[in-house]
Chain A
C-alpha cells in the first residue's frame, strides 16, 4: 500500500491491484464502469485527457453522483475538469454540461483526490449512461535531460498510469496516448500495449478492481515551446465615456528544458529548424473584435515586433518577445488595448450595470500560474459583486486615477493554474449614477474658473500702502 503512485523513480515498475476490501459508502459500491476509454493528448505542454466512461448502476438505489479520482501528483496540476453527457437519441444528440465539484472523502487511499460529477437525472438501478470527461493537466511533462544545448531537441517525461484510477470496478478500459511526433525514446510496456506512429495504445484491459494503478513513463520528444506565464495581472478599467481599457502585465517564462551554454545567433538564423527547435519565437493573442489602440511594450519601451490582424469576429495579435525564449529564459511585457464599451457593458432589469468579459489569458496555448483580474469600476459606483464560473479568491481595493477624489472601487479576483479553457465570461455587477461622470469635468472647469477669478481679483486690487 505504500504510495506506489508516488514512485517516480520506479521506471517500468508495475504494481497491480490496489485491492480494497474496506467498506465504502453505498454509492460507491453499486456503481461500476462497464467501458472506459481514455485519450491523452501530449502534443502541447498542456496535457489534455478525454475520458469516456460508461457508468452502470449495479446497485439497487438510484444515484446521481459519480466520483472521479486522481492521484495527488496529478491533482496538483489539474487545471480544469469538465464533464458532459450526451442527451437525446441518434441524430438529435446534444451535449449537456454537468456539475463537477472537488470532494473530500475521509478514507481516500494514498491521498487520492476526488471530483464528484452530479448527473442531471439520477441513474436508476440497472441503467447506464455515458459520461465524457475532459481534464487538463499543466506542468506534467518533465524535461529530461533537464538542460539542453541550442541544437538539441527537447525530450520530456510523462508519467501516468496504464490503468485508470477509479473508485469503481472497471470492466474494460483502453488508453490512447498521442505524442507530438514519432520520436519516442521509450515507454513503459504494460501488455497489451503497442505503438503506432504518434499513438501509443494501452489496453484493452479487462476487469480491474477499484484503485488499480500501474505507473507508466513515456519519454518522448516535445519541441513545442512551454510558454508559461508565471504571473499575469489584467486590469480592466471601465470608463462610462465609452471606453474599456485593458492592460495586461505578463511575466513569461519558457518552462521547458533549460538552455545550456552558448547561444549562437548565426546557427539560430541559418538553421532555424535544427537550432532552437523548442525556442519560443512568437505568441498569438486572441483579442476581442473592434479592439483599438493596441500597444505592446515592456519597462524599457515599445517592442516593435508585433502584428495585429482584425476582422469582424476577432482580432489576432501576434507578438514576438524581444529575443527568442529558450528554456529557462524569461521576459516581461505589457499588452494594452481599448475596446468599445457597448460590447461589454450591459444593464440589468433592476437598473444595475454589469460588465461581461473574458476571464483568462488571451494568449493561445499558454499556462498561467497566477492570474489576477482587476476590474476598475468608475468613481462613484456602488455594491460591486462578481460572478465567475469557477472558484476564485476575491477582494476589493481602491485605486486613484486621473483626478479622483474618493477613488475607484476595484474588484480583484485571483486564481492559480489557468489554461486557455478558462477563457469563459465572468460578470461584475454594480450600480452607478451617470451624474458622477460629470464630476471631473465640473471640477476642472470650476478650478479654471476660480483661477481666472483670482487673476481678475488680483489685477483689480491695489495692495500698495502708499498712494
Chain B
C-alpha cells in the first residue's frame, strides 16, 4: 500500500531543541549567560520554535537548574515560539511565573522507560500531564506532547506501533496541539518509521505530528525523509547535533539542525531558516563547550572559513 505522499510538504517547521534537549545531554554544564547567548543567536536565524529550558527539579536535572534565569534573561523575538518542559503542575506554575508562553509534556510509549525516567507508569504520567493541560487550557497556554521511545526502548527493546498510537492519542485528546514522536535511542529505520507513522496517523491528524529523530545509528535523515514523504511537516533537531545519547556511551544523539536544513533546502522545501546563521550559532556553542560539532554540514564548511 502506498503511503508515500505524491508531494513533499512545501514548508516544514523546524523545532530547535538544542538549548534544552541538547545541553541537558552534554557532558559539560553550561553557564547561564552562555545559554542565553546561544538562544539569542538562534532567535536570529529564522527558526520558528526554540525549546529553551526545563522546569524540572534541579535535583534531577542540574543542567537546567537555571531555568528561571534563562527564561527571564532571553530576548523573546516576535515570530519565534519559546517552549519549556513542565513535567507536572508545580513546574508549570513556575514556568508561567517566569514568563513562559508555551509548555511541553513528555510521555513515553514504554512502561519500563516511563518508570526508569520519571518513576511512574504511563497512566500515572498521563494523569499528571492532564493537570498541566487543564491549567494550560485555562490560561490559553499551548501544550506540546512528546512521546519517547516511539521506535524502540533501551529497556524493552521493540515498541509496538499501536502503543505509540495509543499514548499519542491520550496526549492529543487532553489538548496537546502537536505530538512529537521521538526515536529516543535512534534505533529506528525508514521501515520502522513508516510502520509507526501509519499507526499513529490513524489516530492523530497529520498536521499535528512532528518527528524527533536521534542519529545514534546514523539513520536520522533517512527517517526524517520517510516521515516528510508521508506528509509530516514538523521536524525537531538540535544545533550542531548537541546532546549525546544517555543510553549509549560516547554515541551521538540529536540530529543536527544544520544537516536537516541542508537536506530540506536541497529538496526545495521552505523552512525560513538561514543555514549560515545556524552554523555560526553552532560554532559559538561548540567553541564554548570545547567540542567538535556533530553536524557534518558544519564540519564540511568549517575549513573553508565560511562560518564566523
Query: Is this pair of chains taken from one and the same complex?
Result: no
